[in-house]
Amino acid sequence: MKVIIAYIPAIHRGYIDFINKNQPSIIYLLGLELVREVPRLERDIRALEASEAVNALKGIGLLEVYELTKENITKLDNSMEIVMPDEDVSHHFKESYLKEIPVQFVPVFLRWDKHNSFKKDVVISDNIISRELFDREVMNRAVAESEKSSDWWRQVGSVLVKDSKIIFTGFNRPLPSDQVHNIFGDPRSNFDYGVSFELSKFIHAEAGMIAEAARRGISLEGSSIYITTFPCPACAKLITSAGIKKVYYKEGYSLLDAEDVLKSFNIEIIKVED
């Protein structure tokens, strides 16, 4: 007998598809007491009570749906084929209550949990790879800019191009002065790659150039940006808001929703190779 156990804070198509694909005999929704064992989930203001989610699923024709509590966990046993979404709350529940019972964790995106918030996705550059001389020359300029950065963590260079002309160059640099990080250190050094990137003394190369263009009153509508490392989520949002239409990058990964944000605004993503 196949059983789905899941935390469903809000009903959406992703959950329905997940259920339909796995065709369970019974669905158990994690109750509030079990969910609250995972830190910070109480901050999700969307979250329905498990009993409300149960009623909602029954309302669309899924009849064998129940709330799972500490009192009825004993109904679960080795005779069941248990399936759970591959999420932080699922792993916590398995380690806490189902140590002796096999669980199949299914990779599926249903919500932003702690695990996928830090996931580094390979960038799908619209299947476009450029080896054009102009693009390689501009990217080499971006690489040269990156070498000016005093950030020990990562050196990023960037170039803005409009009408086939370079209008701005930049690199990640510390603020308010070039030596501020050498006095008290950089708080970013307390974290691993891809984690808490906003806690830094450095302004990102892309953000610095976009801000400089705004200060000078220069429109970036229809321009292209060349970046040695694929932009972070915050810079991706700045790029879309600035009207930039093409992103050329040399290396890196998409963190959180950076790639999705760019593609939502029909921004072309191009990888430059030698």
For 82-112, the pLDDT digits (tens) are: 999 999 899 999 999 999 999 999 988 887 7
As a whole-number percent, the residues of the chain with pLDDT over 90 amount to 66
Residues 81 and 134 in one domain: no
Residue 127 Rama label (left phi>0; alpha psi -120 to 50; beta): left
Domain boundary among the residues 117, 133, 164 is at: 117
As a whole-number percent, the residues of the chain with pLDDT over 70 amount to 84
Q: Where are the beta strands (DSSP E) in 124-235?
A: 129-130, 157-162, 165-171, 173-174, 202-203, 224-229
Residues 160 and 85 in one domain: no
C-beta of residue 256 within 8 angstroms of C-beta of residue 191: no
Residues 14 and 50 in one domain: yes
Residues 150 and 53 in one domain: no
What is the domain extent for residue 224?
120-272
Specify the pTM.
0.58
Residues 128 and 71 in one domain: no
CATH number at residue 37: 3.40.50
Residues 128 and 257 in one domain: yes
Query: How does residue 258 score in pLDDT terms, banded at 50, 70 and 90?
Result: confident
Residue type, 257: D
Residues 248 and 211 in one domain: yes
Q: Which of 8-17, 32-41, 79-88, 258-267 has the lowest mean pLDDT?
A: 32-41
Residues 113 and 134 in one domain: no
Each residue of 174-208: pLDDT tens digit?
Answer: 887 676 555 455 554 555 555 555 556 789 999 99
| 3-class SS of residue 43 | helix
Distance, in Å, from the CA atom of 183 to the CA atom of 179, rounded to the nearest integer, reads 7
CATH number at residue 165: 3.40.140.10
Q: Which of 133-137, 212-216, 253-257, 265-269 has the lowest mean pLDDT?
A: 253-257
| 3-class SS of residue 1 | coil
Distance, in Å, from the CA atom of 31 to the CA atom of 7, rounded to the nearest integer, reads 8
Helix, strand, coil percentages for the chain (3-state, nearest 5): 35, 25, 40
Each residue of 40-65: pLDDT tens digit?
Answer: 777 677 789 999 999 999 999 998 99
- Report whether pLDDT(223) > 60: yes
Each residue of 146-161: pLDDT tens digit?
Answer: 999 987 778 999 999 9
Domain boundary among the residues 100, 117, 134 is at: 117
Neighbours of 20 (CB within 10 A): 10
Residues 74 and 185 in one domain: no
Distance, in Å, from the CA atom of 260 to the CA atom of 12, rounded to the nearest integer, reads 19
Burial of 189 (0-12, 13-18, 19+ CB in 10 A): exposed
Tell me: cis bond preceding 176? Omega within 30 of 0 counts.
yes
pLDDT, mean of residues 238-252:
95
Report how many domains make up the chain: 2
Query: How does residue 270 score in pLDDT terms, banded at 50, 70 and 90?
Result: very high
Report the pLDDT value the prediction gives residue 2, as an integer from 0 to 100. Answer: 96
Q: From residue 146, give the alpha-carbon distance in Å to each of 23, 150, 173, 205.
A: 52, 9, 10, 9
pLDDT, mean of residues 66-86:
94
Domain boundary among the residues 60, 92, 117 is at: 117
C-beta of residue 99 within 8 angstroms of C-beta of residue 22: no
